[in-house]
Structure 1
Amino acid sequence: MLLEILAITDDQYHVKELASKIMQIQNYVDYIHIREKSKTARELLTLLELLQESGVPKRKIVVHDRLDVALVTGIENIHLPGHGLTINRVREKFPFMRIGCSVHSYEEARKSEQDGVDYVMYGHVFETNCKAGLAPRGLEELHKIKERLSIPVFAIGGITPDRMNEIKVDGIAVMSGIFSAENPAEAARDYSEKCKEMTTHGKIL
């Protein structure tokens, strides 16, 4: 099984520049998670329209929190933050959607699975500038979640290609490692090549 890569936007670029960066990396990642908290609904709509006009498949796009924007643009992947809409309510009203959520413990992950989520994202696993001053949660709880849940588990936080061998889950989520890189496409390609290398050498079971 090939480790999946989810690239998360970092809310640092204007719409057109961000769209350009996403188009450059789209062939190296499995999902692009649009996490742009400072942008208005109209700006998000413009971004998603640019991506669709440029041929980025809808199946690759994940909308963070903004269910309204996802529905208007026909995106079926939604990621719910802890403070957002409840999994139960979204699942009840929109059973066709692929729903993910962020968790920070095994208990949260188990509850999310019971509520009907399609995948969980656990972190932060390693030290990262995105969570400066906060101690990483490490790998033990992550691997416990993977072992006990039946849904896909993604890891996030400080994950570099060099550290991917330590992670035994279904996928990784990367923000600064791609979008803060001098060359996002090259960075995304490095993650992609590492995934293929790990699969070839039997690291991923």
Structure 2
Amino acid sequence: MEWMPDDPCADTRVARLIDANLDRAREGLRVIEDWCRFGLDRQDLVVPLKDWRQQLGLLHADCYRQARSTATDTAAGLSHPAQQTRSNNTQVLKANASRVQEALRVIEEFARNGDSELAQTAAKVRYALYDHEVRILEACGQNQRRQRLEISRLCLITDPGSNDTSGAMLKRVELALQAGVSLVQYRRKQGPDALRLQEARQLADLCQANQALLIINDRIDLALLVNADGVHLGQEDMPHPEARQLMGPDKLIGRSTHQIEQLHQAQKDGADYLGVGPVYATATKANRTPAGLDWVRTAEHSARIPWFAIGGINSHNIAEVLGAGASRVAVVSAIMGSDDPIAASRELLQRLG
């Protein structure tokens, strides 16, 4: 085994190796830091990354920099086909986290004999980044769901009746998804829990296959069991803080609102989106007085988060709803009660632009 001096700077090869890996680690941290700052807008995720980058910068001694020689580096500019397959931001973040962790491991090994402070710092940052990466990826998952929610204009609510079969309900949803619906809310007021769980699982598979969001109405337990994208809660359902504690930070939580005070409270609580209605009389909410188009106009001026007008909306009256200020609607019978769910979905999507 070749002897390695106690001082890493005494061996140019070791100094060059440490210098290169310090550059890799700091560059990778900067990539992750900037996405957390500009892509996720999460200062709490940015602060540790900046601190680790600065710690490594302070320990990047001049002797390491002076040993640098890119002209004689036989691997300079070498790339790998895997670098061309990073098709989304999450893959970029994962690749850079791995890059940082690998570089820090190299530093830890070669600096241990003569630069213990650097070796210890590299080990500390490496272990901390393992946990921090998980938090960042959770935030990315939440961010992606919110981005997909932002572009969704039509929410399909299943609400099967007591005589509807699961097969018929699932087929209508599948056809709507094929037509371009990107958000489904599973709502069943009647039937045993075993049936609800079965249908929720089947809908989760359908939505995943069609890259659509799945929201479960009322039931946080079902949402968690089928790994749905979120839950929709009414005014009498679980309060938001407790719902968020159960759902975790990366899932969507929607809230039904019927008056301005409820809308303001839902936004204050941190809801991801709102249901605004019922706009018209509807058989699915027969006991609730329609709020009318004035409520839509009020929501248009007051809502700061995505919201869906809901209640008796169909192809015949959607123009009025859009004219009152809505840009998103949620429907039940307009699609689920149609003889041609594909045509019904396409017509509504076309009206929504």
> Structure 2-normalised TM-score?
0.51
Match of 1:24 in 2: 175
Which structure would you say has the larger RCO, counting Cα contacts within 8 Å and 6 or more residues apart?
Answer: 1
Match of 2:281 in 1: 127
Match of 1:178 in 2: 335
- Counting only pairs closer than 5 Å after superposition, residues 33-182 of structure 1 correspond to structure 2 as 33-54=185-206, 56-57=209-210, 59-93=212-246, 94-132=248-286, 135-166=289-320, 167=322, 168-182=325-339
Q: State how far apart, in whole Å, the 1-side matches of 2:224 and 2:211 are.
A: 12
Which structure has more strand as a fraction of its residues?
1
Q: 1:33 to 1:133 in 2, by over 3 A?
A: closer
Q: State how far apart, in whole Å, the 2-side matches of 1:132 and 1:65 are.
A: 18
Q: State how far apart, in whole Å, the 2-side matches of 1:133 and 1:45 are.
A: 27
The percent of aligned pairs where both chains have the same amino acid is 26
Moved over 6 A (4+): none
Q: State how far apart, in whole Å, the 2-side matches of 1:47 and 1:53 are.
A: 10
Which structure has the larger Rg? 2
What is the total number of aligned residue pairs between the two structures? 196
State the shift of 1:139 in Å.
1.5
CA RMSD of aligned residues (A): 2.2
1:182 counterpart letter in structure 2: D
1:68 counterpart letter in structure 2: D
1:10 counterpart letter in structure 2: D
Q: State how far apart, in whole Å, the 1-side matches of 2:160 and 2:277 are.
A: 19
Q: State how far apart, in whole Å, the 2-side matches of 1:46 and 1:162 are.
A: 34
Task: Tell whether the 8 Å contact from 1:9 to 1:33 is kept in structure 2 after alignment.
Answer: yes
Q: Secondary structure at the match of 1:39?
A: coil
Which structure has more helix as a fraction of its residues?
2
